[in-house]
Amino acid sequence: MSLLSPFGALGRATLALMAVVGRVALFALTALSHVLRPPFYARELGLALLNIGWLSLPVVGLTAIFTGAALALQIYSGGARFNAEAVVPQIVAIGMVRELGPVLVGLMIAARVTSSIAAEIATMKVTEQIDALVTLSTDPMKYLVAPRVLAGLIVVPLLVAVGDVIGIFGGYAVATGSLGFNAAAYLKNTMDFLEPLDVISSLVKGCAFGGLAALMGCYFGMASGRGAQGVGRATKGSVEAAAVLILAANFLLTGAFFTL
Amino acid sequence: MIDLSHVSKAFGENRVLRDVTLTIDKGTSMVIIGGSGTGKSVLLKCILGLVTPDSGTISLDGQDVTKADRDAFLARFGMLFQGAALFDSLPVWQNVAFRLLRGSLQKPRDEARAIAIDKLRRVGLKPDVADRFPAELSGGMQKRVGLARAIAADPEIIFFDEPTTGLDPIMAGVINELIREIVTEMGATAMTITHDMTSVRAIADRVAMLHDGVIQWTGPVSQLDSSGDAYVDQFISGRAEGPIEAVR
C-alpha cells in the first residue's frame, strides 16, 4: 500500500458520491418535468393524495399532540429556572410551527410513505411490472413517479399545518389542564406571538419535505436491485436518504427564512 | 418482419448477446430456446427497447426500431411476461384493458371493460374474474390474464416470455394451446422464449437456439430433431454430457 492509497480511496468515494448526486438530480428534474407535462393520471394522483395525506393523518396527529404536550412540560420546567414559565404558549407555538411541526411530519412521512413508495415500486420492478408498463405504452416516470411527487408537494404542507395546530393544542391541553394556565390567555398569547412568516416557513418546509420524501421513495424504488434483498435495500436506503435530506433541507430553509 | 443484425449487449464484463443475427418473418411463430442465463430475455427486451443494445441494428418492417415513433411502435406489440407482471393495485379487467383505458388506443370505459371481458373469455376465464384482483388468482389464472392483456389491443406481434414456467403440466398444455390458437386466429407474428420443449413443439413454426449469446442454430420446428447440431441435440434430449456445460 503506497502513501497515496488513502487519497485514491477518498477520490473514488467522492466520485461515487458525485455520481449518485448526479443521478438523483437528473431523476428529480425528469420527475418534475413530468409533473408539468401531460398526460396526467388523475386516478394515480388521487390515490397518492389519499395515501400520503389522508392515511398519514393519524400518525401525524399523534406525533404532533405528544410532541406539543412534552414541549409545554419542558418549557415550563426549564423556564422555571429563570422565572420564565409564562412563555410556554409563545415557545410552544414558535417551536411547533417553525421547527418541530415540519420536521416531525417530514420524518413521519419519510418513515411511513417513502418506505412504502420505495417498496411498492421496487417490487413492481422486480416482478417486471415496470417493464410491462413500458410495453403498454405508459411511461413509468409519468404514471408512477409524477403523481406521487406531486401529491407529496401538495399534501405534506397541509399535513404540516394540521400537525402545527394539533401540536399547539397538545401544549394548550397540558398547560391549561395541569400547569395552571388560563385557556383564553394561552390562546391569545399564541395567536399574538405567531407571525405570517412563521406559518409561511412551516408550509414551505412541508412542501420541500413532501417532495423530497416522495422523490427518494420513487428514486430508490426505480433503482432497486433484484430480489427480496434488492427491495429491502431500496426501502432502507430511501428512508435514510429522505430523513437526512429532510434534516439538511430544514437547516438550509431555516437559515434562508430567519437569518438572511 | 423483425430483423436483428449483429446485435451485441454486455452488462459489465458479462457479454450476454454476441453478434446475434436473426430474422422473424411476418405471421410466423418463432421460438427461441436455450438454457437459463443465455440471453433469451435480454434479446427480447432489446427488440422492445427495454434494453439498449451496445451495437447492431433491430428493424421492424425495414424501419430501425430506435428511430421509430415509440408509441406507434409499442402499439403493435403485446407481451406476456414470465410472471404475468399484472398490476396488483388494479382489478383484472383494468389490467387487461390497461392500454385501452389510456393513451392513443383509449376507448370509453364501458367499451374497454366489454373488450376485457371478451378477451378473458377467449383465454378461458369467466366474466366474474374481471372484478377480482391479481393476488386472488392462481398462477395459471394470472398467466391467462397476462395473455388476455397481451392480446387486448389485437397486436400484430406478440412476445411470450417463458409462458409455461411455474405451471403444472396440464395448465402448461392449456396455455400452449391457447397461444397457438390465438396466434393462428389473429395472424400475428409471435416470438416465444422458453426452455420447455413441450411448449416449443406446441407453439413453434421455427426455432432458434441461443447459447452463450450466439444463435447456434435456426430452422423449422420439423427439423429440430434432425438438426445435426450438437448443442440442439444435447438441449432437446436434456443430456448433461455435450458441448453445453451443465454447470454454468
| Residues on chain A bordering chain B, Cβ-to-Cβ distance under 8 angstroms | 39, 41, 47, 124, 127-129, 131-132, 134-138
CB–CB of B99 and A128 under 8 A?
Answer: no
Q: What is the mean pLDDT of residues A166-186?
A: 94
Predicted local distance difference test score (pLDDT) of residue B246? 63
Segments making up each domain of chain B, as ranges? 1-76+156-166+189-248, 82-154
Closest by Cβ to A127, choosing from B71, B83, B104: B83
The secondary element (H helix, E strand) that includes residue B14 is strand B14-24
Decide if B139 contacts B170 (C-beta within 8 A).
no
Neighbours of A95 (CB within 10 A): 20
Window from A1-10, A30-39, B13-22, B103-112 with minimum mean pLDDT: A1-10
From chain A, pick out residues whose CB is under 8 angstroms from the CB of B74: 134-137
Window from A105-114, A155-164, B165-174, B198-207 with minimum mean pLDDT: B165-174
- Residue A193 burial (CB < 10 Å; 0-12/13-18/19+)? middle
From CA B194, how far away is CA B41, in angstroms rounded?
A: 9
Residue B53 half-sphere exposure toward CB, CA atoms < 13 A: 27
CB–CB of A131 and B45 under 8 A?
Answer: yes
Neighbours of B202 (CB within 10 A): 20
pLDDT in tens, B210-227: 988 889 999 999 998 888
CB–CB of A129 and B86 under 8 A?
Answer: yes
From CA B70, how far away is CA B55, in angstroms rounded?
A: 19
Inter-chain CB pairs, A–B, below 8 Å: 49
From CA A56, how far away is CA A59, in angstroms rounded?
A: 6
| Residues on chain B bordering chain A, Cβ-to-Cβ distance under 8 angstroms | 45, 48-50, 70-71, 74-75, 77-79, 81-83, 85-89, 98-99, 102-105, 149
From CA A178, how far away is CA B133, in angstroms rounded?
A: 52
Q: What is the mean pLDDT of residues A238-244?
A: 96
ipTM for the predicted complex comes to: 0.86
pLDDT in tens, B156-208: 999 999 888 878 888 888 888 888 888 888 888 999 998 888 899 999 999 99
pLDDT in tens, A1-18: 677 888 889 999 999 999
**Nearest-CA distance A140 → chain B (Å):** 12
Continuous H helices in chain A: 5-36, 42-52, 57-79, 88-94, 101-109, 115-126, 129-135, 140, 146-178, 183-193, 196-222, 227-258
A126: nearest CA partner in chain B? B85
Q: Is the pLDDT of residue B14 over 90?
A: no
**Nearest-CA distance A30 → chain B (Å):** 18
A150: cell is: 406531486
The secondary element (H helix, E strand) that includes residue B80 is strand B77-80
**Using the 8-state DSSP alphabet, how is residue A227 labeled?**
H
User: Regarding predicted confidence, which is higher, B34 or A170?
Assistant: A170
CB–CB of A128 and B77 under 8 A?
Answer: no
Place of cell 392483456: B149
With a pLDDT cut of 70, the percent of chain B lying above it is 99
**Nearest-CA distance A147 → chain B (Å):** 15
Predicted local distance difference test score (pLDDT) of residue A47? 95
Q: What is the mean pLDDT of residues A93-121?
A: 96
Buried b (16+ CB within 10 A) or exposed e, A112-138: bbbbbbbbbbbbbbbbbbbbbbbbbbb
In this prediction, residue B247 has a pLDDT band, given cuts at 50, 70 and 90, of low
Instruction: State the CATH architecture for B1-76+156-166+189-248.
Output: 3-Layer(aba) Sandwich (3.40)
Q: What is the mean pLDDT of chain B?
A: 89
Q: Is the pLDDT of residue B248 over 60?
A: no
Tell me, rounded to whole angstroms, the distance of Cα A251 from its chain centroid: 13
Predicted local distance difference test score (pLDDT) of residue B34? 87
Please provide residue B213's backbone torsions phi and psi, each rounded to the nearest 5 degrees. 80, 5
A200: cell is: 409561511
B71: nearest CA partner in chain A? A137
Residue B247 CB contacts under 8 Å (≥ 6 apart), including other chains: none
From chain B, pick out residues whose CB is under 8 angstroms from the CB of A142: none
Q: Is the pLDDT of residue B242 over 80?
A: no
Tell me, rounded to whole angstroms, the distance of Cα A211 from its chain centroid: 8
B73: nearest CA partner in chain A? A137
In this prediction, residue A212 has a pLDDT band, given cuts at 50, 70 and 90, of very high
Q: Is the pLDDT of residue B48 over 70?
A: yes
In this prediction, residue A258 has a pLDDT band, given cuts at 50, 70 and 90, of confident
Q: Find, among B99, B24, B32, the residue nearest to A134 by Cα.
A: B99
CB–CB of A137 and B103 under 8 A?
Answer: yes
